[in-house]
Amino acid sequence: MIPVQGVQNQTIAVLGLGRSGRATAAALAAGGARVVVWDDGADIREQAAADGLHVLDLTREQNWDGISALITSPGIPHLYPAPHPVIACAYAMGVPVDNDIGLFFRSFATPEWERFDSTPRVIAVTGSNGKSTTTALIHHILKEAGRPTQIGGNIGTGVLSLEPAHDGEVVVLELSSYQTDLARALTPDVAVLTNMSPDHLDRHGGYGGYFAAKRRLFAEGGPDRAVIGVDEVEGRYLADQLGMGPGDDRVIRVSSGQKLERFGWSVFARKGFLSEYRKGRQIASIDLREVTGLPGAHNHQNACAAYAATRAIGLAPREIESAFHSFQGLPHRSQTVAEIGGVRWVNDSKATNVDAAAKALTAFKRIRWIAGGLGKEGGIADLQPYLGEVVKAYLIGHSGRDFALQIGQTAYEVVETMDQAVARAAAEAQPGETVLLAPAAASFDQYPNFEKRGEHFTALVQALQP
């Protein structure tokens, strides 16, 4: 746990008692604060009281006397579509509102660091897609290189549940727009933007508000190095805003598909090869085509971002390349779960929409595609341009028959269940082919979440092993 600094003898309110809210309350108490808590759920409040927390009704203005700050969980709206009533009350009372990310950045450094040989550092990753894979890959590279490291934030451990920093440690954080939007302190050493595409627009009042939330990590934080994906105009704008000219190597531009040779520092992937350029000269190259844990152009973009972030803190290209080859990928995200009789089996259960499924379908050749579930508005007709490598589709779940009408001339079979899909694909797949679970649909017709769907697929595949 990281005790919160600067709160001793203050009364601090915590709104929301999920994982991050509970951890925040504990870290505040460890820092000497008097903590009061509130949650909209009556059962959650009862459990909190039973656990010894001081539950205080923060919807009543008379209960705000003496409260110095409100710390809210990231899932609770603070502006759009409307502030939560408790947050609106804090605004009316002039009480500062923050979140656990803000508390982490103001509490991470301690006087103990003066005795360290190497100052601990923070790499923070945000973006629309790929941030979990990029964060996990950076953490993996650091571990493989023998660097002390922790991972947390929107992935794994909550930030205040991390251990206090060790000498020379690098903490790698995944940060969502919900987390960056409100944090009053954002001071990473290296900040990464993977890419931008519309998401969470109701929460941010539109695409401009969503981008503004991401931009805060760079504009408010002033990182020593900024790694910026420039395949969208927002990334190009941000890189231009942060740099003092094309030769400014404090900004590392990253791309999957563009050749970036004119800048002070850039990392890009084209035709399966990653290239690093410094001041117009190529200084490193990595063949990504045989890196099984990072298939496809979208993962090559993640590899470029992770490479740039770890180069920015001094790792050598050979160290990074070696770690790429031992990275197994995150569960349910283009994860190779087996190779049986020359057939590759890939679990991309996280591909719950058309955009994610399209990325998966362009990452492999000769595909037997398992798709379906609870389809989303608009169906999958937009996937037709990406089906050229699909040998046959095996369609499951509530929307299986609807999907069959939307995939053009692609061969298909409606098989209803995952068990049937895996069995049929196993019977028909030929060496050199890939059986890909990329559902392009939610899981809720047959599974509680995409993780359970992916776990079922993986178990069925592993049962095929001789």
Nearest-5° Cα angle at 246, 244 to 251: 70
pLDDT of residue 199: 81
Does 127 show up as a binding residue in the annotation? yes
Say if residue 261 is in the same domain as residue 163. Answer: yes
Backbone dihedral angles phi then psi of residue 102, each to the nearest 5 degrees? -60, -40
Beta carbons of 144 and 310 less than 8 angstroms apart: no
Shared domain check, 304 and 173: yes
The pLDDT of residue 188 is: 97
Are 25 and 16 in contact, with CB atoms under 8 Å apart?
A: no
User: What is the average per-residue pLDDT within 238-242?
Assistant: 96
* Percentage of the residues of the chain whose pLDDT score is greater than 70: 100
Structure tokens that stand for 147 in this block: 């660097």
Say if residue 186 is in the same domain as residue 131: yes
Q: State residue 222's pLDDT score.
A: 86
Task: Count how many Cα atoms sit within 13 Å of the Cα of residue 436 in the half-sphere of its side chain.
Answer: 33
pLDDT attached to residue 376: 86
- Residue count of the chain: 466
**pLDDT, position 152:** 96
C-beta atoms surrounding 52 within 10 Å: 6
What was the pLDDT predicted at 350? Answer: 92
With respect to residue 366, please indicate whether it lies within any of the assigned structural domains: yes
Q: Residue 73: which domain range?
A: 11-98
Reply yes or no on whether the pLDDT at 59 is more than 80: yes
Residue 107: which pLDDT band, with cuts at 50, 70 and 90? Answer: very high
How many domains does the chain fold into?
3
More confident residue, 461 or 466: 461
Region 261-268 average pLDDT: 96
Pair (154, 251) in one structural domain: yes
Q: How many other CB atoms are found less than 10 A from the CB of residue 98?
A: 18
pLDDT score of 265: 98
List phi, psi (to 5°) of 284: -160, 155
Q: What is the pLDDT of residues 340-360, one digit of tens each?
A: 999 999 999 999 989 889 999
Residue 377: per-residue pLDDT: 85
Q: Are residues 292 and 350 in the same domain?
A: no
Contacts 24+ apart (CB under 8 A), 91-94: 92/61, 93/61, 93/64, 93/67
CB 165 within 8 A of CB 120: yes
Q: Of the candidates 74, 98, 122, which is a domain's last residue?
A: 98
Looking at residue 79, its pLDDT comes to: 96
* Residues 398-424: tens digit of each pLDDT: 999 999 999 999 999 999 999 999 999
> 271 with 366, same domain?
no
190/312 same-domain check:
yes
Quick: pLDDT tens for 307-347: 999 999 999 999 999 999 999 888 999 999 999 999 999 99
431 burial type by CB count under 10 A (0-12 exposed, 13-18 middle, 19+ buried):
exposed
57: domain CATH number is 3.40.50.720
Q: Is residue 221 pLDDT above 80, yes or no?
A: no
Long-range contacts of 208-214 (CB under 8 A, 24+ apart): 209/80, 210/177, 212/181, 213/177, 213/178, 213/180, 213/181, 214/126, 214/127, 214/177, 214/180
Q: Would 169 be classed as within a structural domain?
A: yes
Question: Does one domain contain both 94 and 134?
Answer: no
- Let me know if residue 1 belongs to a domain: no
345 falls within a domain: yes
Residue 2 lies in a domain: no
Mean of all residue pLDDT scores within the chain: 95
Q: Are 399 and 408 in contact (CB under 8 A)?
A: no
Q: Rounded to the nearest 5°, which phi and psi values hold at 413?
A: -145, 130
Q: List phi, psi (to 5°) of 435.
A: -95, 115
User: CATH code at 201?
Assistant: 3.40.1190.10
- 161/90 same-domain check: no
Domain end, chosen from 326, 353, 384, is at 326
Question: Is 131 part of any known ligand binding site?
Answer: yes
188 falls within a domain: yes
Tell me what pLDDT residue 227 has: 98
In a domain, 3, yes or no: no
Question: Of 254-258, 329-333, 397-401, 443-447, which gets the smallest average pLDDT?
Answer: 329-333
User: What's the pLDDT at 216?
Assistant: 96
CATH, residue 446:
3.90.190.20
Calpha distance 143→231 (Å, rounded): 29
Instruction: Please check whether residues 121 and 21 belong to one and the same domain.
Output: no
Q: Binning pLDDT at 50, 70 and 90, where does residue 378 land? A: confident
Give per-residue pLDDT as tens, 18-53.
989 999 999 999 999 999 999 999 999 999 999 999
Quick one: 319 and 379 in the same domain?
A: no
Residues in a beta bridge with 465: none
Band (85; pLDDT cuts 50, 70, 90): very high
133 is in an annotated binding site: yes
Tens digit of each residue's pLDDT (9 = 90 or more) over 129-172: 899 999 999 999 999 999 999 999 999 899 999 999 999 999 99
Among 308, 326, 344, the domain-final residue is 326
Query: Where residue 466 falls among pLDDT bands split at 50, 70, 90?
Result: confident
Percentage of residues in the chain with pLDDT exceeding 90?
92
- Per-residue pLDDT of 177-193, as tens digits, reads 999 999 999 999 999 99
Whether residue 314 sits in one domain with residue 175: yes
- 5 assigned to some structural domain: no
Residue 198: the pLDDT is 83
pLDDT at 451 over 90: yes
pLDDT at residue number 460: 98
